[in-house]
Amino acid sequence: MAPAGYERFIAYRYMRVRAQEIFIKLITWLSVGGVAIGVMALIVVLSV
């Protein structure tokens, strides 16, 4: 299993972008939010 520091490094690398790449940053955050909402909905549905 990879150490948590490596995972955070990879996540931070893709979450920070230069000013000219603001569209990519927006798409990244929308994707992360969509996955988080999907996982939360799946957990709620399966727990009932």
pLDDT tens, residue order, the chain (48 aa): 556 788 788 777 777 766 677 888 888 889 989 999 999 999 999 998
Q: How far apart are CA 34 and CA 15, in angstroms?
A: 15
d(CA 14, CA 46): 31
Burial 10-36 (b: 16+ CB within 10 A, else e): eeeeeeeeeeeeeeeeeeeeeeeeeee
pTM for this predicted structure: 0.59
